[in-house]
Amino acid sequence: MTVSPALSTDAVPTDAVATDAVATDAVSAGTVSTKVPGVWSAAADGVSTSAFDGSRVRVVLMLDIHDGTQQEFLEAYERIRHRVAAVPGHVSDQLCQSLENPTQWLLTSEWESAAPFLSWVNSEEHLDTVQPLQNCVRDTRSLRYSVLRETAGVHAGPPKGADEQLRAAPRVGSNIVRHALTFTVRPGSEAAVAEILSGYASPEPRVDDATRLLRTSLFLHGNRVVRAVEVRGDLQTALRHVARQPEVRAVEEALNPHLERERDLDDPQSARRFFTLAAMPAVHHVASGGQAAAPQRIALFYPVVPGAGAELARLLARQDEAAAHAPGNPVRAATVFHRDDLVTRVVDVAGEPDEAPAFVLALRGAAGDDGAAAQAGRLLDTAAAGLDGPLTDHRTLLRLLAHARMRPLTDRRSPAS
């Protein structure tokens, strides 16, 4: 089970449990090599984020509830817990109260894997289900983990899932969290929105000694905006810091008249719903560990056949991982963001993307393997992209790349730490 936090109205509301919903700002800093000036290097070599490794997921939610609302909170939990238990992929949860402080509670839940959890926590169903708890909650802090090992007591029976194959090795990576936000604007307002999102003042990147805003990249595809952020340290702490910045508030207010989904940032419930439904989590990130002089960052918005978003995200993740160290691959890092049938990849490319479209699209397998080509062709809305050739054809891949490539609005970095 997960619960959205109750936030003050000066904060951009986020679902701290699992949406990690991004306060819309211009934050950031890329990774600049301290060894070779001006040369970019991947933050880590390998897969640092993956929702597709099959690991069970443990969610830990720390709650601070209002004084005197303990019984009300427990009764609200009793009313909704069986609804949550019926969510596909949910295994169990436990509600605990602090021994020392009666306003501090802990809610832990276990899920079969990350995919069903992310689908649930970013849904309207989740928002509606946990609504009875919101009046009691003063603040929350949420953490999510993959289960790597499980040890039972000597006199206990085998642990649940003992027959499962646990992931053998930990993921590698640095202390960087990635997340994206996506929303649509009213047709005809794209030029005004592009001006707003490319010309605002950046907020202060330093949050505290442990947390820093690193990078914000904004893109436009038709009337859809995608904003990808990178944070070193704690994402929720960074987003709450950003939400208090006057530069960010001004941008949000300027965007309001142009949004297709209306919101009221002075109403915590309205803002929470908007940002939860706009959240597009990072489901896979891989870096090659290679170096390149100032690789360019691009974003690709894939045309997806209805109902095929999750399968396409898995395919792209698998292709990215397989091609990470392939000769001739210009992709230095790639992040797949996914929710429902929305799939976006943010890619750092050394050189011109048109020179290696199969790598840049994460369809290299499709270019050399008929099975992968058939799978990609089944998941992509080729008619919407105007494709009339097979995905094994170089010209067809160039046409898909041109269709999927988003217009960059801004790519801002904080000074290298």
> Residues 269-278: what's their mean pLDDT?
87
Is pLDDT above 90 for 71? yes
**The predicted structure's pLDDT at residue 17:** 26
Task: Grade residue 6 by pLDDT with cuts at 50, 70 and 90.
Answer: very low
Is pLDDT above 90 for 32? no
Domains of the chain: 39-53+175-413 (3.30.70.100), 57-146 (3.30.70.100)
Is pLDDT above 70 for 108? yes
**The predicted structure's pLDDT at residue 282:** 93
> Residues 239-244: what's their mean pLDDT?
80
Is pLDDT above 90 for 65? yes
**The predicted structure's pLDDT at residue 91:** 94
**The predicted structure's pLDDT at residue 374:** 80
> Residues 353-372: what's their mean pLDDT?
79
Report yes or no: 142 and 79 within 8 Å, Cβ to Cβ.
Answer: no
**The predicted structure's pLDDT at residue 15:** 30
Residue % of the chain over a pLDDT of 70: 83
Task: Grade residue 16 by pLDDT with cuts at 50, 70 and 90.
Answer: very low
Q: Which residue has the higher pLDDT, 270 or 223?
A: 223
Is pLDDT above 50 for 24? no
The pTM assigned to this predicted structure is 0.83
**The predicted structure's pLDDT at residue 5:** 34
**The predicted structure's pLDDT at residue 40:** 34
**The predicted structure's pLDDT at residue 66:** 95
> Residues 248-255: what's their mean pLDDT?
91
> Residues 250-259: what's their mean pLDDT?
94
Is pLDDT above 80 for 284? yes
- The 3-state secondary structure of 358-382, one letter per residue: HHHCCCHHHHHCHHHHHHHHHHECC
> Residues 51-55: what's their mean pLDDT?
84
Distance CA 279, CA 117 (A): 14
Give the tens place of pLDDT for each residue, 145-165.
998 888 878 776 665 655 555
Q: Residue 244 region, left (φ>0) first, then alpha (ψ -120 to 50), else beta? A: alpha
Question: What is the rounded average pLDDT for all residues in the chain?
Answer: 83
Give the tens place of pLDDT for each residue, 327-345.
889 999 999 999 999 999 9
